[in-house]
Amino acid sequence: MTAAVTLGGPLAGGAASAAADGVTGTLVGLFVLLLGAKLGEEVLRRLGQPGVVGEVIGGFIVGPHALALVAPGDAAAVFAELGVVVLLFTVGLEVRTDQLAAVGRPAVQTAIIAMILPIIGGFGLAALLGEEPIAAAFVGLALAATSIGITSRVLKDLHVLDRVFARVVIGAALVDDILALLLIGIVGGIADGDLSASTLLVGVAGIGLVLLGFAAARRARGLPRHVFTWPLFADTPLVPAFLLMLATALLAEAIGLAAIIGAFVAGLIIAETEAAEELERDVRPLASVFTPFFFAVTGAELDLSAMLDPGILVLAVTLAVIGVVTKAAGGLLGARRIGGWAAATVGFGMIPRGEVGIVVANLALAAGVVEDALFAAMMVAVVLTTVIAPYLLAFSVPRAIKEATGS
């Protein structure tokens, strides 16, 4: 009761808010994260650097491993997940299935080559260092999967989502996620001694969902706006579309794919309807508010103390270099027909490992097949690949555009 009649600390809350103190604390945390992300973006952009790296750094600075102003909890994680889901939904809204199908061949080639090369590289390095084959397989796998979040954001910021190389990256990332799902199932099953036909089933379900999404997108072509606004609660198509996005994202997650794949597919479907343009505009405010949380929380979760150990740092940098070179090579080989710089951009776009790499490293640790030092090195390597990609893209994208204009 005292809280009701004293001012207390700056956020002690009054009587009317006594019951909501937990919520207020969480809102303060979200505010600090968003402010940190935006200040980080501002500083980096003033320095001529990619804004999204600033959001990650801003999140790191206010987060528990630096200033400790905020310790992101469940609500921040939900905002982060919604952030990347909404981001990929907006990417889907800007892509047409025809355009994606048109780059099917380079996309699939890139996905396969840019998955095999890092696995060979990671496996080879780990085997050279004397790791068991199963541990080496996990190292390779951690370097194999692409997380498309940061690349989507960079390509969006550069306004090049309509370019051929952007479509190839996105298509390749889609295929990549399905391949990674299969491989993680297989390697995890071997580690557990529990490999079963259900692994294959998961893969089939993943491919099925994406193909179904493509088919739905084709059938959705030219659907009138009224399809979304027939409910009385829907003044605009936004809320029905938002519900569809969430449902597809959760369905993808239920199958074992990333939620963002589902959100992207939902975007693809709606992109074909007559509500597409209006939705693109209406989703933008949601993306502006939610998306920074994804990058800020990514930053806040970075524990860079492992980088202080020179042994781990050297191993991590080596892994990261292998990760960068093999993905770049994958792009150059897989997408060589779309032009040199465009293919390089595709490869660079596949470099960030993000949350998929982190999940693989954690699986390996949980299965007891990698020791702490190797785990830490894998985590740091994942971080390095994620932070370096925007710089490489900022370098290659203008050249790819020039190359396309010149030819």
* Near its own copies in 7-36, by CB under 8 A: 7, 10-20, 22-24, 26-28, 30-31, 34-35
Q: Is 253 an interacting residue with respect to its own copies (CB under 8 A)?
A: yes
Site for its own copies, residues 159 to 178, rule: CB under 8 A: 177
Cβ closest to its own copies, residue 39 vs residue 102: 39
Q: What is the DSSP string of 145-174?
A: ----HHHHHHHHHTT-TTSHHHHHHHHHHH
Closest contact distance (angstroms) between CB of 371 and its own copies is 18
**Binds its own copies by CB under 8 A, chosen from 129, 215, 366, 371:** 366
**Binds its own copies by CB under 8 A, chosen from 132, 133, 198, 311:** 198
Closest contact distance (angstroms) between CB of 333 and its own copies is 25
Closest contact distance (angstroms) between CB of 97 and its own copies is 24
Q: What is the DSSP string of 375-405?
A: HHHHHHHHHHHHHHHHHHHHHHHHHHHHHHH
Closest contact distance (angstroms) between CB of 205 and its own copies is 7
Site for its own copies, residues 140 to 159, rule: CB under 8 A: 145
Rounded to an integer, what distance in angstroms lies between the CA atom of residue 377 and that of residue 163?
A: 35
**Binds its own copies by CB under 8 A, chosen from 50, 256, 349, 352:** 256
Tell me the per-residue interface mask from 65 to 84 with its own copies, x by CB under 8 A, - otherwise: --------xxx-xx--xx--
**Binds its own copies by CB under 8 A, chosen from 94, 131, 355, 403:** 355
Contact criterion met (CB below 8 Å) for 271 and 293: no
Closest contact distance (angstroms) between CB of 356 and its own copies is 6
Contact criterion met (CB below 8 Å) for 55 and 299: yes
- Return the amino acid letter for 206: G
- Return the amino acid letter for 395: F
Q: Is 134 an interacting residue with respect to its own copies (CB under 8 A)?
A: no
Q: Which stretch binds its own copies (CB under 8 A): 39-47, 121-129, 317-325, 341-349?
A: 39-47
Cβ closest to its own copies, residue 344 vs residue 365: 365
Site for its own copies, residues 177 to 196, rule: CB under 8 A: 177, 180-181, 184-185, 188-189, 191-192, 194-196
Cβ closest to its own copies, residue 92 vs residue 339: 92
Cβ closest to its own copies, residue 184 vs residue 377: 184
**Binds its own copies by CB under 8 A, chosen from 128, 222, 232, 405:** 232
Rounded to an integer, what distance in angstroms lies between the CA atom of residue 244 and that of residue 88?
A: 14
CA dihedral 82, 351, 356, 178 (to 10 degrees): 90
With a CB cutoff of 8 Å and minimum separation 6, the contacts of 44 are 50, 51, 53, 54, 57
Closest contact distance (angstroms) between CB of 212 and its own copies is 17
**Binds its own copies by CB under 8 A, chosen from 116, 134, 239, 404:** 239
Closest contact distance (angstroms) between CB of 251 and its own copies is 9
Is the CA virtual torsion 76, 261, 319, 55 positive or negative? negative
Number of Cβ atoms within 10 Å of the Cβ of 218: 14
Rounded to an integer, what distance in angstroms lies between the CA atom of residue 200 and that of residue 77?
A: 30
Cβ closest to its own copies, residue 91 vs residue 180: 180
Rounded to an integer, what distance in angstroms lies between the CA atom of residue 327 and that of residue 331?
A: 6
Site for its own copies, residues 277 to 336, rule: CB under 8 A: 282-286, 288-289, 292
Cβ closest to its own copies, residue 249 vs residue 400: 249
The pair of three-digit structure tokens given for residue 68, joined into one six-digit string: 């400790």
Contact criterion met (CB below 8 Å) for 55 and 35: no
The pair of three-digit structure tokens given for residue 86, joined into one six-digit string: 């909404």
Query: How far does CA 166 lie from the centroid of its chain?
Result: 15
